[in-house]
Amino acid sequence: AYAALVTACARAADRHHWLNDAELGSPQGLLAEIRATAEQVLGEFETVRTLTRQAADALTESADRVAALVRRIRGEAPRGAADWVDRLTELRRAQGHLVTLKEMRYADAERIDGLVAATEGDIEAAARRAVAFLGRDDAFADHHTEVERLTADAAAITTVADAAPVAARLKEHAAGLRTVTDVVTGLDIGDTVVRTSVLERVADVLGGVNRARATLEARRSELLDHEGRAE
């Protein structure tokens, strides 16, 4: 309708030159205002349509990513605690990304809420499978080995710059374990002994991560002092 109005204004101005006659009050000016307003509406409409399409595309892409992740988790049997931690972390991050899409203008908030709720159910289902594995005595053996390796790497750095990669690995390690803690804590597990056992094992690994971080910080401070005095 507004496109037709712009066309009609242009056609009228071309056909009726007397519209610019001062004796008639110069209706050409009013016609120009009507045309300008219609063009502004069209511009705003195009902007809204573009933003709506971008929000829809982003949501579809995120939904497809979550669906692929869920299919992969359902169809595989992770071989260790590290794999379970990675899967739960991926799901939680995917859910968090869905939530951020609500900040986009013209995003479908209702669909996003539905996908977030569905992903929460997928996280819970994966967590229940994870708990069955993480309750084993040797479930976090690989984590302890990795923490020992990180502690050794922290103690072996030779420059302050070398601390950053080790710190990033420690941060990622701790973030994954905190995700497991959050998810397991939120589960409605009838056997509290199992839940407590898993959380204690996670806390034990986190304690090792903190010790590795302390080793890294001490070594970094030592090198920082040495490099400062050398400079």
pLDDT per residue as tens digits for the range 139-171: 888 888 889 999 999 999 999 999 999 999 999
pLDDT in tens, 57-67: 999 999 999 99
125: in domain: yes
Opening angle at CA 218, ends 212 and 224, nearest 5: 130
CB of 225 closer than 8 Å to CB of 159:
no
The reply to whether 141 falls in a domain is yes
Percent of the chain with pLDDT over 90: 41
Q: Is residue 200 part of a domain?
A: yes
Residue 156 forms part of a structural domain: yes
Domain that holds residue 134: 55-207
CB 118 within 8 A of CB 72: no
Say how many domains are in the chain: 1
What is the per-residue pLDDT across 62-91, written as a single tens digit (0 to 9) for each? 999 999 988 888 887 777 777 888 888 888
Residue 212, domain member (yes or no): no
Residue 14 inside a domain? The answer is no
Assigned domain for 171 exists: yes
Q: What is the pTM of this model?
A: 0.62
Q: Which position has the token pair 């001062």?
A: 22
CA distance 107 to 99: 11
- Cα-based distances in Å from 190 to 46, 121, 194, 223: 55, 18, 9, 50
Contact criterion met (CB below 8 Å) for 195 and 135 = no
Q: Does 169 reside within a domain? A: yes
